[in-house]
Amino acid sequence: VRTAVLISGRGSNMMALLAAARADDYPADIQLVISNRPEADGLRKADAAGVTAIAIDHKDFDTREAFERELDAALRAHKIDFVACAGFMRVLTEWFVSRWEGRLINIHPSLLPKYKGLHTHKRAIEAGDAEGGASVHWVATEVDGGDIIDHEAVQIEADETPESLANKVLKRELVLYPRALNKVLMGWH
């Protein structure tokens, strides 16, 4: 399945997907990486891994939809069938989501439906939660609101900080995301 990964930064989840996709029996064929931030480290990493990596800077566009039209055009130009957001920090509008619904997933660093949005680890610690984690979910128009595909949980220790929790959760994300994408694309046609 011709797949694109959308990123905004460091791209560790994207690299985990690329590594998984090297296996012959993995269903995703990652053809394209797009970042809305031209300076994203992940773009360089994808390029070094031999994948087409392009920047579409959201700041070049007056509206969210104008940015998304460009994104949509790039995905279509590369004949992409499936899109995985991985640390992609732009909220997608109804315009884009309705076009890609059912072919668009995201990873979010919380045990959804808890802590949609930002500062998830800090919020989980402050709430006194016993566990934090990450979820892979379908993208729907409500931010971080679509059906959950899979998740990974980690224990929150007494001395946990948002940074230590983020590090622990990220390690699990790198296992979770390839597994979730595999699950979704198995038997895809």
Instruction: List contacts with ligand GRF (CB under 6 A).
Output: 7, 9-14, 42, 86-87, 107-109, 134, 170, 173
For the chain, how big is the Rg over CA atoms in Å?
16
Task: Tell me if residue 137 is catalytic.
Answer: no
Choose the catalytic residue: 58, 78, 108, 137.
Answer: 108
Q: Output 69 or 116, the one with its CB closest to ligand GRF.
A: 116
d(CA 63, CA 146): 24
Q: Output 27 or 133, the one with its CB closest to ligand GRF.
A: 133
Q: What are phi and psi of 103, to 5 degrees?
A: -135, 20
Q: How far is the CB of 4 from ligand GRF (least distance, A)?
A: 15
- In degrees, rounded to 5, the angle at the alpha carbon of residue 68 between the alpha carbons of residues 67 and 73 is 105
Residue identified by tokens 């940015």 is 67
Q: How far is the CB of 86 from ligand GRF (least distance, A)?
A: 5
| 167 labeled part of a ligand binding site | no
| 64 labeled part of a ligand binding site | yes
d(CA 174, CA 160): 20
d(CA 188, CA 183): 10
Q: At what angle do helices 162-185 and 12-21 cross, to 10 degrees?
A: 30
Q: Output 7 or 28, the one with its CB closest to ligand GRF.
A: 7
Q: Are strands 104-108 and 82-85 parallel, antiparallel or unpaired?
A: parallel
| 11 labeled part of a ligand binding site | yes
Q: Whose CB is nearest to ligand GRF? A: 87
Q: Output 102 or 117, the one with its CB closest to ligand GRF.
A: 117
Active-site positions read 108
- Residue ranges for the binding site? 11-13, 64, 106
- Residue ranges for the binding site for (6R)-10-formyltetrahydrofolate? 64, 106
